[in-house]
Amino acid sequence: MTIRARMKANSLIPPRTGHSRAISNLRAARNFTTSVRPRASDGDVPQPSSAGASITSSTHLPPGSAVFSGIQPTGMPHLGNYLGALRQWVKIQDEAPQDARLIFSIVDLHAITAPPRDGHGKGEWGAGGGGAAGTLRRYKREALAVLMAVGLSEERCTLFWQSDVPAHSELMWILSCQASTGMLSRMTQWKDKSAKEGAPNQRLGLFSYPVLQAADVLVHGATHVPVGEDQSQHLEFARYTARAFNNAYPLSPSSSPPVLREPTTILSPHKRIMSLTTPTSKMSKSDPQGAKSRISVISSPEHIRKSIRSALTDMQSDRISYDPETRPGVSNLLDIFNSFDKEARTPEVLAEEIEDIRTLKHETAEAVVQGLAGVREKYLDIMERENRKYVDRVAAEGAEKARKSADETMRKVREAVGLGGKCP
């Protein structure tokens, strides 16, 4: 069976991902330095510099910038991933100075923080050919193909699988020796998971997730990191961790640049896309409602139309109004329509121009179908090239470039710590 035939026949497999309160995370990120300032036991860590602790929504980068971001291979990326992250990455690529380094990773080590519940690939991962290992390999390949399909150039960018670059894990261990467990326990996503399932039932990998995320960013000397609201607090933790390391291992002379660079967060300006079945929750690959709750970036026109036609709205009125608080379903469709509208009309303007909910659903669906058509076609082409070996070759070449980028940082880290260099 061809890739195209399988895509038509198979439904999307719901993987694991946690739901988080994105707005509270954003507030926490902006106040992170003062709200979770370390106690005496956390060490004497210098406060952030004005240059290193900034948050911006601008994608205009200065010369010499280095950008890093990643996406978990926990299933096919959906509309929320595309509008909140992937489309922004392409914009950064298109506007970046020629000397900017653009590094985007499929972060498979993060994906295994929630392993399957049994040995047959069932449970949080979902069933897949080859069991859990086969499912992860398939998700990795599909995710990398999506990055290219949305417009990221394998020649302009470094695209790779995280686990192919051991320096990420090595730096994570070194940083974990400086990271504060108190701060990790106050991470919003950890608290949400612990409150829902109980802290004793959680795994160390999930608890230390922000340390690996910090290593991902810092090992490549990233100056800018595009993230969504729900990850902004973790980027503040990365900056804090860089300061802790630089304070613990100062260079001589003191005028030398610190070993680890504090990155700037590029916060996605796009509003969160919510579930089509539960519009008070964000669109998620792990929604228990399954494929009808979301639209993947490679969904067929038929699936897009059917999903939006059955999207939950409300019974308040057949007339359209934009009010995310009282009319989340209608407002979510307006946000989606706005994201693909060629006339760039605001959700409020669209609400005034559209007569009723039926028309809203029809026009939203057609806008999404047109907006994703190119992505779907390019994805199919990429996955069928050389029997998928093309994707593997891009990943291998990207890993080689990523290892060179990471090795430069790790040489300085090892020397600063005493793990490298000549013994006296």
Q: Are strands 55-56 and 264-267 parallel, antiparallel or unpaired?
A: parallel
Alpha carbons 262 and 235: distance in angstroms, whole number: 9
Q: What is the C-alpha separation between 409 and 66, in angstroms, rounded?
A: 13
- Beta bridge pairs of residue 296: 78
Instruction: Give the integer Cα–Cα distance in Å for 36 and 21.
Output: 18
Structure tokens at 209: 């997730």
What one-character-per-residue DSSP string does 384-404 give? Answer: HGGGGHHHHHHHHHHHHHHHH
Q: For residues 417 and 408, give the distance between their C-alpha atoms in angstroms, rounded to a whole number.
A: 15
Instruction: Rounding to the nearest 10 degrees, give the CA dihedral for residues 172, 173, 177, 183.
Output: 40
DSSP-derived 3-state class of residue 296: strand
Report how far apart, in Å, the C-alpha atoms of 154 and of each of 26, 72, 146 are: 32, 18, 12
Gyration radius of the chain over CA positions: 22
Dmax over CA atoms of the chain, in Å, equals 79
**Four-residue CA torsion sign, 280, 211, 297, 87:** positive
Residue 300 in tokens:
């067929």
Number of Cα atoms under 13 Å in the Cβ half of residue 12: 29
What does the alpha-carbon distance between residue 9 and residue 147 come to, in Å, rounded to a whole number? 23
Catalytic site residues?
A: 193, 282, 285
Taking the C-alpha atoms of residue 31 and residue 14, their distance in angstroms, rounded to an integer, is 34
Joined together, the tokens standing for residue 44 give 């004497």
The token duo for 122 is: 């069932």
